[in-house]
Amino acid sequence: MRRTIKVKIKNNALRRTIDQYFEAYKFCIEMGYNLQISSKRKIHDATYREIRKRWPGIPSALVQTVRDVACENLWAVRLKIKPIPKNKFIRYDKRTFEFRRKDNLVSLSTIEGRKKIPVRIPEYFKKYLDWNCKSAVATLRGNQLWLSLIMEANTPQKLQNKIYLGIDRGINNIAVTSDNKFYNSKKLREVKGKYQHKKAILQSKGTSSARRRLKRLSGKEKRFVRNLNHCLSKEVALKDFGNFCLEDLHIKKEKKLGKKFNKKLGNWSYGQFQQFLDYKLEEQGKNLILVDPSYTSQRCSVCGHIENSNRQNNRFRCKSCGFELNADLNASRNIAYLGKSEIGRLPVIQPIVSPVKTDTSLLALAIGR
């Protein structure tokens, strides 16, 4: 399994290297696209000499990674477009990069030789420090250089735990789990409301200082939500279950299941919760299962009867057997049932696309998606 530690760095030689590297990248893309080739061998033959001639300062090991990224990106878009990312970048591998944890620094190849650059690892990432680190990506965003350290560890063996937990995500409750736990969103709504109020005032002012404060405020709000998602996903992931079932929100959105819910999606980062939960489960050898969200709120979790009018606001009352329960809790039990039954399970488990877990090729980072 992989995690990314992202840190800010400063170095002028790296800045100059990133400029040249990106030019060389665009050159590879141009050649690959024009000749309609994406194999490493062919792109190498078509570009290597020219790159060495035009940008003689780029170390040859970096010329190889530039070609590799270009090939992967061209292949990913099937040579239909020229994949040029928004941000300039450099991919580093073990020949061009070293992370020295003890000294809190990285050593990177640049056009001016190896440079040792200090890094400060944020508290939250420190738990990944004993993982392996063989590659990294430097990016220039705006005027800031970032370094993403790719940390790797063996994925733990799957637990032989066949117990299923259903998790319903909603509006009144951030989450309700089928073991009868409610995580209400009162605090979240309070804080969100406070921020929205402040933001509205600042927006109406429209001065440049108001805009600056607005930016700071949304940064603060994001961090609050992020922290809440961390705490919540941590607590849920530690529960003694082997399989954690969630509704697939992409389907939920597509099928327009609940307009309110869609609106809410913008406010509260359900996707982030899922991503955090996914990481935490993976580290413990537990499973995340996504299920089809159809009828989860209309189905009776006792007799299986499905009827729209079974649900009245927060109350679920079965028209067939008379079973009564909190509507979100009933839904969470249906979600657990679907995860277990495999009928409602989606054929392919599709975690939220994240650059952190899917970046074997670092494509997401490199194309800036």
Q: Does 149 sit near Zn ion (CB under 5 A)?
A: no
Q: Does 303 sit near Zn ion (CB under 5 A)?
A: yes
For residue 270, the minimal CB distance to Zn ion (Å) is 28
CB 77 within 8 A of CB 366: no
Q: Which of 262/320 has CB closer to Zn ion?
A: 320
Q: Which of 77/302 has CB closer to Zn ion?
A: 302
Contacts by residues 189-193 (CB-CB < 8 Å, ≥ 24 positions apart):
191/221, 191/224, 192/221, 192/267, 192/268
For residue 302, the minimal CB distance to Zn ion (Å) is 5
For residue 79, the minimal CB distance to Zn ion (Å) is 55
Q: Which of 195/323 has CB closer to Zn ion?
A: 323
Q: Which of 252/333 has CB closer to Zn ion?
A: 333
Q: Does 236 sit near Zn ion (CB under 5 A)?
A: no
Among 249, 318, 331, 338, indicate the residue that binds Zn ion (CB under 5 A): 318
- H helix runs in the chain, sequence order: 12-35, 40-54, 60-76, 186-205, 208-237, 249-254, 259-267, 270-283, 327-341, 363-367
Q: Does 307 sit near Zn ion (CB under 5 A)?
A: no
CB 336 within 8 A of CB 323: no
For residue 188, the minimal CB distance to Zn ion (Å) is 32
DSSP 19-50: HHHHHHHHHHHHHHHHHT---HHHHHHHHHHH
Q: How many CB atoms lie within 10 A of CB 223?
A: 10
Helix (H) or strand (E) holding 328: helix 327-341
Q: Copy the structure tokens of residue 170.
A: 């909603």
144: left (phi over 0), alpha (psi -120 to 50) or beta: beta
Q: Does 317 sit near Zn ion (CB under 5 A)?
A: no
Among 117, 300, 366, 367, indicate the residue that binds Zn ion (CB under 5 A): 300
Q: Which of 186/319 has CB closer to Zn ion?
A: 319
Q: Which of residues 59-88 bind Zn ion (CB under 5 A)?
A: none
CB 61 within 8 A of CB 93: yes
Q: Does 224 sit near Zn ion (CB under 5 A)?
A: no
The partner residues of 324 in beta bridges, in order of sequence, read 317
Site string for Zn ion, 323-362 (x = CB under 5 A): x---------------------------------------
For residue 234, the minimal CB distance to Zn ion (Å) is 35
Q: Which of 196/314 has CB closer to Zn ion?
A: 314
Amino acid at residue number 66: V
CB 237 within 8 A of CB 244: yes
CB 244 within 8 A of CB 277: yes
Which one of the spans 190-198, 205-213, 226-234, 296-304 is the region binding Zn ion (CB under 5 A)?
296-304
Among 81, 129, 321, 343, indicate the residue that binds Zn ion (CB under 5 A): 321
Q: Which of 58/318 has CB closer to Zn ion?
A: 318
For residue 324, the minimal CB distance to Zn ion (Å) is 10
Among 115, 230, 239, 305, indicate the residue that binds Zn ion (CB under 5 A): 305
Residue 319, CA distances (Å) to 295, 300, 332 in order? 15, 9, 19
* Total number of residues that touch Zn ion (CB under 5 A): 8
For residue 317, the minimal CB distance to Zn ion (Å) is 9
Q: Does 295 sit near Zn ion (CB under 5 A)?
A: no
3-class state of residue 210 by DSSP: helix
Single out the residue of 91, 50, 89, 86 nearest to residue 68, CA to CA: 91
Q: Which residues bind Zn ion (CB under 5 A)?
A: 300, 302-303, 305, 318, 320-321, 323
